[in-house]
Amino acid sequence: MQKKLLTLAVAGALAAPGLALAQVEVYGFVNMSVGKFKYSTATSGVGGSVSKWDVASHASNYGLRARENLGGGQTAWFQIEQNAPMERNNNIAHTPASRNSAVGMQGGWGNLFIGQWTTPWADLDALWGIGTVGGWGPITAIIGRRETTGSAPNAACVNGTSVPTAGVCDVVEGGGGVGHPFWRRISNSVFYQSPVFGGAQVKAAYQTNDVKSTVPAGDASLYSVSVTWSGMGGRLRIGGAYDGHKDFTTVGQTDKGWRVTGGWNVGFADLGLAYEQMTYKIAAGDCEATQYGVGLAVPVGSGFIRGSYAVADDLDGPATCVPANPGGSAAGDNGAKQWNLGYEHRFSKRTTVGFGYAVIKNDTAATFTWTGAPPTQAGGLGPIAGSDPSTFFVNMVHRF
């Protein structure tokens, strides 16, 4: 009742005199943890070991959305969603429409929209990512190589200490970077989602080349396509995706990647699996990245035991794919392993409370961490090569 009254109030406040609007819904998601966070001593000895208390916000957000029936089976809709920076406001931007925000039309032919949204590649995480309490899991770290540089750079960016000269955006071998993440939310983009036929659906997205320029040179753009299928009442699910990122690493070259994810709910447990490969194009050849993971959710009373394990293999390719290890050892040894385990209790459809432990074991030259991790022992947000982040935490989620 309160939500309905709020919805009507917002619709009334936005409406100009004499103008009828579709009903606007206010919605949101608050996901926060408090815990003891630790960074181990880096392989090079830089920074030393440090433990600290931390409050973290895991993609907390709020937004407005509405739908209007146009007749003939056609619907117009919009969504405007932004981050809710519940902690460390000096480091987390509070920008309107910073999350999934778009306007579109939908009918029996599918759903077509423009704006900013997660790619079909990123959407596949919903099929297998059932093994995480809060935000300390593989989807915000190793899978998709999401947190290897401390940011998720788009075209015309600066990545680490690399400068995008001559059109280079993400220099794989520069600044200790290991290539841009394939998990991403793209803006200036066009999206299409097909109707569901026999449990199968196709999604496609194209990020326009609006950053095209002569300084630096380049025509950066991106496409992402996925196919998903679910059966047995949604208990069995599988999906695959293919991405191409043009001019992201080298002008005239397209970084490409593919992935398969899925899950199977067998009643006493829900199992999720993911496997992916990316190819980053540099002058010396191809840099190959491989990641895979497994997630598990076991119902216990009014809650779930959730756990995940994920691996990022060492990059494969020319020596220039990989920065030299700290201490002067040979290039390579830049993979990582991550696992997490916790329990989540559901108090209602909207509120859950949980606790758990998560750790990333970085190899000598690896710099993986989680989205939302606190500053490192050296004060920066980017992890120190070879340092292992870990956390004991208590988490609370509330949806409205």
Q: For the whole model, what pTM was predicted?
A: 0.86
Domain limits, the chain = 2-399
Residues 52-70: pLDDT tens digits?
999 999 989 999 999 999 9
Q: Write down the pLDDT at residue 351.
A: 97
CA distance 178 to 42: 18
**HSE-up of 262 (CA within 13 Å, CB side)?**
13
CA distance 259 to 182: 10
CA distance 297 to 136: 15
The token pair at 317 is: 């390719």
**In this structure, are residues 262 and 129 in contact, taking their beta carbons and an 8 Å threshold?**
no
Superfamily of domain 2-399 in the CATH hierarchy: Porin (2.40.160.10)
Indicate the helix (H) or strand (E) that contains 289.
strand 285-300
Q: Write down the pLDDT at residue 217.
A: 62
**In this structure, are residues 53 and 374 in contact, taking their beta carbons and an 8 Å threshold?**
no
**In this structure, are residues 21 and 34 in contact, taking their beta carbons and an 8 Å threshold?**
no
CA angle 110, 202, 151 (to 5 degrees): 110
**In this structure, are residues 132 and 301 in contact, taking their beta carbons and an 8 Å threshold?**
no
- Residues (pLDDT < 50) of the chain are 1-2, 4-20, 90, 149-178, 324-331
Residues 313-372: pLDDT tens digits?
988 887 666 654 443 334 467 889 999 999 999 999 999 999 999 999 998 888 889 988
Indicate the helix (H) or strand (E) that contains 128.
helix 125-128
